[in-house]
Amino acid sequence: MELLKIFLEHIGIEKILQIPTGDLENKIALYIKTHIHEPITLTQLADIAHLHPNYFIKYFKKHFSMTPIDYINTIKLYRAVHLLVYNPEKSIETVAYETGFNDYRYFSRLFKKKYGVTPSVYKETKDISHLNETQKKLVDHPTNFYCYYSF
């Protein structure tokens, strides 16, 4: 088993599956984009790549520079910023649920960790000046995250 692990780490799954570089990443990113409002499991993502979930995490980190859950949560948080900026009438709880978070307190913790302020404060200030140009584009079009942050 250890030999297989070393083999896979050095050869790369793209060569084994005969998938051109980028195509598998695009397929994974597209799946996440189209299912972002549903619960997405590691097993579902690993199945797309025909990999064991444990190996898939390593593969994903190598190609996306973050874990699958971080990638998914980042997309959801950009969508949340979009809703907070362009739909201020929505409550924080509504924004959390509309962006795929089942627990608005968890959403608030993640939001504060990423942006340094709570969603309520962000909603009041609508300050996106700290974002770079790519991030500002993502606020306007959050579902395009995978185009900006992949491969």
Instruction: Return d(Cα 73, Cα 68) in angstroms, integer.
Output: 9
DSSP class of residue 100 equals T
Whole domain around residue 22: which residue ranges? 2-66
Kindly state whether residues 24 and 88 are assigned to the same domain: no
Which residues contact residue 121 at a Cβ distance below 8 angstroms, ignoring those fewer than 6 apart? none
Q: What is the pLDDT of residues 90-147, one digit of tens each?
A: 999 999 999 999 999 999 999 999 988 899 988 888 666 655 565 555 555 555 544 4
Kindly state whether residues 75 and 120 are assigned to the same domain: yes
Kindly state whether residues 134 and 86 are assigned to the same domain: yes
Kindly state whether residues 78 and 134 are assigned to the same domain: yes
Q: What is the pLDDT of residues 83-97, one digit of tens each?
A: 998 888 999 999 999
pLDDT at residue number 123: 84
* Band of residue 7 on the pLDDT scale cut at 50, 70, 90: low
Last residue of a domain, one of 37, 66, 95: 66
| Structure tokens given for 145 | 């995250």
pLDDT at residue number 16: 44
pLDDT at residue number 13: 46
DSSP class of residue 143 equals G
* Band of residue 22 on the pLDDT scale cut at 50, 70, 90: confident
Give how far Cα 53 sits from Cα of 21, 36, 43, 48, 56, Å: 20, 19, 6, 11, 5
Q: 60, 61, 71: which is closest to 114 by C-alpha?
A: 71
Kindly state whether residues 77 and 40 are assigned to the same domain: no
Residue reference for tokens 């992949």: 150
DSSP class of residue 64 equals H
> What's the mean pLDDT in 35-55?
92
Kindly state whether residues 75 and 132 are assigned to the same domain: yes
Last residue of a domain, one of 66, 87, 112: 66
Domain count, the chain: 2
